[in-house]
Structure 1
Amino acid sequence: MATNRFHVVDVFAQERYAGNQLAVVHDAASLTDAEMQAITRETNFSEATFIDSPETRDGGYDVRIFDPAEEIPFAGHPTIGTAFVIREFVRDDRPDELTLNLGVGQIPVHVERDDDGNETFWMHQIPPTFERTFDHSFAARILSLDEEDVDRRFPVQLVSTGLPTLVVPLRSLDAVRRAETDHGPYYTDLIEPHGNMNVVLFAPEAEDGNDLHARVFADCAGVPEDPATGSSNGCLAAYLVEHGYFDLDDIEVCVEQGYEMGRPSLLHLRASKTDDDIDVRVGGRVISVAEGNLL
């Protein structure tokens, strides 16, 4: 007998079968934690989300996010993709503003349309925290690169907007393409002493005329490489403003990701420095791919 309905969407995609895949399961209050973890592993995606109920609580929808290893308090493409599914398949009125209740708190999402009618879903991330920095040589070692590949003008720094990410500035598109995690130092020198984190590496060159080209590694979560990562790009947006990468306190940039995986993705970043903090928003398109029921 059919049970929970689910949808599969591609997030940060310009067309179907690009971007980052996401499975969104409805009426998840009927599932145990172990079942949600097993379903996530069954999809073989980097994350799956579970909408507790079609009803709101405190103005938001209770949503849980799992990666292949564990439940996590926040992730970018699951937030945007789940908001899309709620708007398209749960609500009858297709509102342009929604709120998700996640582990990090309430995350608002709103929709903007361009002149051609294309819709971009924007999430407002929690204020960033800037944590410890690492030597450039250390970053090169864990990414199997030469030290000269790392851009010494800017720090290698751990940043979080709900999910920790190590931000690594590289000098060239070629360096980004050559990077791969060296599992020895990656685990023994980074993950074991400092905890699980994503690693985002980027360069100011791009394949398709965008502002930056990025890759994200999350081996510790069972995701060797992620095709589109909203949480890490939110950390990147905050980093770009904090360290004056573009010599601006307000930025709006386009980041391409996933090209090395054959899943090209486009993420829109907005960040602005205020008196007290940095306001971070990440946006992208969402395309519906499949729907069905768990058995």
Structure 2
Amino acid sequence: MGISPITSSRSGFSGTIEMDAPVRGRLIAVEQNFYLLDVFAEGQYSGNQLAVFRNAAHIKADDMRRLAAEVHFSETAFIMSDEPWSGAYAMRVFTPAEEIPFSGHAVLGAAYVLQTELFGSSYPQMAVDLPCGRVNIAFTYRYTAVDLVWMTHLPPEYGGTVERHAAAAAVGLDVSEVIEGLPVIQVSTGMPFLMIPVRSRLALARARVDTQKYVSLREATGVRSLYLFAPETYSADNRFSARMFAPDYGIHEDAATGAGAGCLAAYVLDYMTPEFDATDFSIEQGYEIWRPSLLFARARRGVEGMRVDVGGRVQMVARGSFV
């Protein structure tokens, strides 16, 4: 299964980004404001770091990539305009290497910026348009401040399965550490991941990408993002621990992966609790890289198919400008 990282007929984004030689002069013609946020953060300086640029329609695609590489977070979000287009706010997301069709923590962080900087506390819902399609967002409040930001993912799509031994080898684990009886399978709710269920938090902590084995797996299956999860946590309040590696996107390891959490919610409902119509749980991530994060995920079956939602808390860290 594959989703082109920069092509979509639904949201109107298309084209390719070429890696040009370094350019002289300024990437952007005017001073460009940006925001730094921590997403899926329960406290200060935790969660997944994000940079957000507003009113970015004038920035060329390759310059967006260059700005993302300069910031060098796992993803950087660009909101095209403070004005909605056809009922939604158009945005694009770049890793340090390339554009991607969807990023959960980028969507939540960008929505938080729009809500706090533009809308105010009386704006409970909004939508953004990405290359993967339209994503609906809802806010919950504690008094007048935003508490949780939720996004509704696209319906799950399932790709091919991968042999346990090949998946284990790609992340430096023994095949016995990958849970037998559960599929190692590609899942997408906007962005595809190879879902790898591992037995314990200790096995999860030992995982390391083996570059040669990863490349072999990618060439054989098209897999580019690896999402590992274990049914053990630091806190008894949470249900899963997770890690995500995406070397091809310039992401050695992600501190919190909202897109992957949506895939996990669908996976749990379809493969781990198929007798139920709903699941609702929280996920720990980022502990191995000193960025503890907490993600909330839920999935429900309905007459129109499965609905998947992922939520979390967002902390504003800084405001500034590129000059």
TM-score by length of 2: 0.87
* Alpha-carbon contact 1:196-1:220 (below 8 Å) kept: no
- Is 1:199 equivalent to 2:210 in the alignment? no
Shift, 1:85, TM fit: 0.3
Residue type at the aligned position of 1:171: R
Pairing of 1:60-79 with structure 2 (within 5 A)? 60-79=88-107
Please name the residue that 2:180 is paired with: 152
Question: Aligned pair in 2 of structure 1 residues 6, 146: CA closer, same or farther (>3 Å)?
Answer: same
Alpha-carbon distance in 1 for matches of 2:75, 2:166 = 29
Shift, 1:118, TM fit: 6.3
* Alpha-carbon contact 2:194-2:223 (below 8 Å) kept: no
Please name the residue that 2:166 is paired with: 138
Pairing of 1:116-265 with structure 2 (within 5 A)? 119-188=147-216, 190-195=217-222, 197-209=224-236, 210-245=238-273, 248-265=276-293
1:66-123 Cα distance to aligned partner (Å, 9 max, x none):
1111111111000000000010112246511111011111101101246997611000
* Alpha-carbon contact 1:113-1:120 (below 8 Å) kept: yes
* Alpha-carbon contact 1:101-1:107 (below 8 Å) kept: yes
Alpha-carbon distance in 1 for matches of 2:175, 2:211 = 18
1:161-182 Cα distance to aligned partner (Å, 9 max, x none):
1111000111111110111111
Unaligned runs of at least 5 residues, structure 2: 1-28
State the SS of the aligned residue for 1:17: coil
* Alpha-carbon contact 1:144-1:182 (below 8 Å) kept: yes
Aligned length: 294
- Is 1:278 equivalent to 2:301 in the alignment? no
Question: Aligned pair in 2 of structure 1 residues 207, 246: CA closer, same or farther (>3 Å)?
Answer: farther
Question: Aligned pair in 2 of structure 1 residues 109, 174: CA closer, same or farther (>3 Å)?
Answer: same
* C-alpha RMSD over aligned residues: 1.8
Alpha-carbon distance in 2 for matches of 1:212, 1:45 = 24
Alpha-carbon distance in 1 for matches of 2:127, 2:289 = 31
Please name the residue that 2:294 is paired with: 266
1:98 maps to which of 126, 130, 135? 126
* Alpha-carbon contact 2:150-2:311 (below 8 Å) kept: yes
Q: Provide the identity percentage.
A: 39
1:3-49 Cα distance to aligned partner (Å, 9 max, x none):
11111110000012100011000111121112111100011100001
